[in-house]
Amino acid sequence: MKVFITISFAVLFLSAKAQPISKLEASQPESKRMTPEILAQLGKLNTLGITKDRKSIVFSVRKYNLKEDKSTTTNFNLSIDGGEAKEIKSTDDLLINDRISPDGKYSISMNEVKVKNIFGKDVYPQFSKSDVMIYDNLNYRHWDTWEDGSFAHVFLNTITDKKITDSIDIMPNEPFDSPQKPFGGDEDFIWAPGGRQIVYVTKKKFGKDYALSTNTDIYSYSLETGKTINLTDGMEGYDIKPAYSSKGELGFLSMKTDGYESDKNDIIIYNGTTKLNLTKDWDGTVDDFKWSTDGLKIYFTAATDGTIQLFSVDNIRVENKTPVVKQITRGDFDIRNMIGQVDNKMFVEITDMNHAAEIYAANLSDGSTKQISHINDAIYSDLTLGKIEKRFFTATDGKPLLVWVIYPPDFDSKKKYPTLLYCQGGPQSPLTQFYSYRWNFQLMASNGYIVVAPNRRGMPGHGVKWNEQISRDYGGQNMKDYLLSIDELSKEPYVDKARLGAVGASYGGYSVYFLAGIHNKRFKTFIAHDGIFDWRSMYGTTEEIFFVNQDLGGPYWKNENSAVQKSYNEFNPINFVKKWDTPILIIQGGKDYRVPIEQGLGAFQAAQLLGIKSKLLYFPNENHWVLKDQNGLVWQHEFYQWLKETL
């Protein structure tokens, strides 16, 4: 059997001979269909906020210039009524600086503080040129960064004559982070009303305890006493995103279970004496929330029915009444960010599978939406976009299964099309109307593929039980959901059943590896990006142990546990490698410490030794995602070149 040895490194892009996708697909006019180059040059929206006078919205747009290989970011000011956005040089005078106390005497900031000695030269000053790192506890690396002994701390700064004259670390000598790493930001530390307390989020655990737990808490530091109190003491899961109402009441998001990062996310309000769970009886999980301007209700976003919509909670603190959740918006789109409320409108960012984020005004009375920014209208107006269809199949257990189907532009039902099963990551992440610059469904469709994207078991938006079902059942019902979805759509005459592929990243990459051993020759090709290949190796090298403990049932050595036995045996892709018989492209980030490099290398080595056509696309300086522009273009070209060769 012939062994294919093909390794592609991202750094080879500049000298590569691969032709643009537009040339590979000569029958598809470049001016009419999405290409990787067009996708890379779309303007990327970053909303900064509503102005002090509440009359306009400030945002920035990042654009990448392919010819010059550089990006530029431009700030704009846009009326809340829409119209032409005006370019501005500075945003300082337009936006409220929430880092400064109400009386203007203080500010808050984040600084890295050295707390632990990690480097050999710290422990042994006489060996100053050594580069060794010494660890005696877990959490020695996180996401894409090795622990260096420094921690993010909140600082209280004294302002005199508009200058900082003194700074105090309010977390002295603590080996804890605020903001939380790797994704926390300014929302993790805020001023309480009156400016006499600083409220911040941190997980006061270190080492192994940190790696095993999700128990973040919300703390309040008093400027007058210098003392800190825990506002969420006894609440064992994630407690994050503190925000005060105009009436001075604290709201935050909370999960109940320690170690369960995808637990039901609820909105809690706290008046200093009692806490009330506003969404306890609502069958869903909250994404984000914002107080109404009058402080009498809360608006929030959440996944529902394959989309992300805007909701409200009424009857807050109304005596003898239960909080009532109401859905405000409806439609095949995602509300990805609540910018803020002005009168009866909530300004939001909206995406769908065909369009990147733009700013919209959502009417809070009738749920209607109006687009007010037009960053990429000119580009989209020159493209032919494919149809997106929401379909429902009956799963193997009789439950309705929502499946998004994305068709090529100029779709002709009399023709036959190669078809891709898209496997979502998470595993408990929603598959909604998101817009990705990597897993872009419109780009897949524009290259002539139908895309099948099931809302399989484990995804938010279909009730808490549906969301939770996947834990400790990775190779079970959700795999049946995947196979049923592709089988059902394959009954359509326009699907070429001899040209089916399966693609995905993270848990989607795991799904591809697992399907490769059980698909019974359904698929002709596979693409797995940063997927889990071997659960034993994964457990020994991933950084957040709480994730694998919750989802697998515990460590592999606890084999008396039935859930553990099933996870490491029945649901472990490496155990089915002997059944692999299909070409596979494996993509791996060198700085991915969530799904470490051993996973991709192990899968590639197995495929090579089995004599299966396979390729490794290795990004040494990327993490779980691909963030650099040219690396992203290599990713896209290799993705479609592989499909062209194998499908």
Residues tagged active-site: 506, 592, 624
Asked whether the beta carbons of 406 and 418 are under 8 A apart, the reply is: no
* Residue 544, SS3 per DSSP: coil
Nearest residue to 57 (alpha-carbon basis) of 385, 323, 339, 381: 339
Asked whether the beta carbons of 80 and 57 are under 8 A apart, the reply is: yes
Q: How far apart are the first and last CA of the chain?
A: 20
CA distance 582 to 525: 6
Q: What angle do CA 569, 575, 577 make, to 5 degrees?
A: 160
Nearest residue to 271 (alpha-carbon basis) of 289, 241, 293, 295: 295
What is the CB neighbour count within 10 angstroms for residue 90? 7
What is the CB neighbour count within 10 angstroms for residue 532? 29
Residue with tokens 């490194």: 9
User: Helices H, strands E: what count in the chain?
Assistant: 14, 34
CA distance 44 to 157: 33
CA distance 435 to 357: 8
Asked whether the beta carbons of 120 and 127 are under 8 A apart, the reply is: yes
How long is the chain?
Answer: 647
Nearest residue to 37 (alpha-carbon basis) of 383, 526, 375, 406: 383
What amino acid occupies position 64?
Answer: Y
For residue 164 the two structure tokens come to 């900082």
Asked whether the beta carbons of 217 and 203 are under 8 A apart, the reply is: yes
Asked whether the beta carbons of 482 and 515 are under 8 A apart, the reply is: yes
Crossing angle of helices 477-489 and 507-518, in 10° steps, is 70
Residue with tokens 């997106």: 388
* Residue 296, SS3 per DSSP: coil
CA distance 280 to 25: 52
CA distance 80 to 345: 10
Determine how β-strand 286-291 pairs with β-strand 307-314. Answer: unpaired
H-type helices in 276-349, by residue range? none
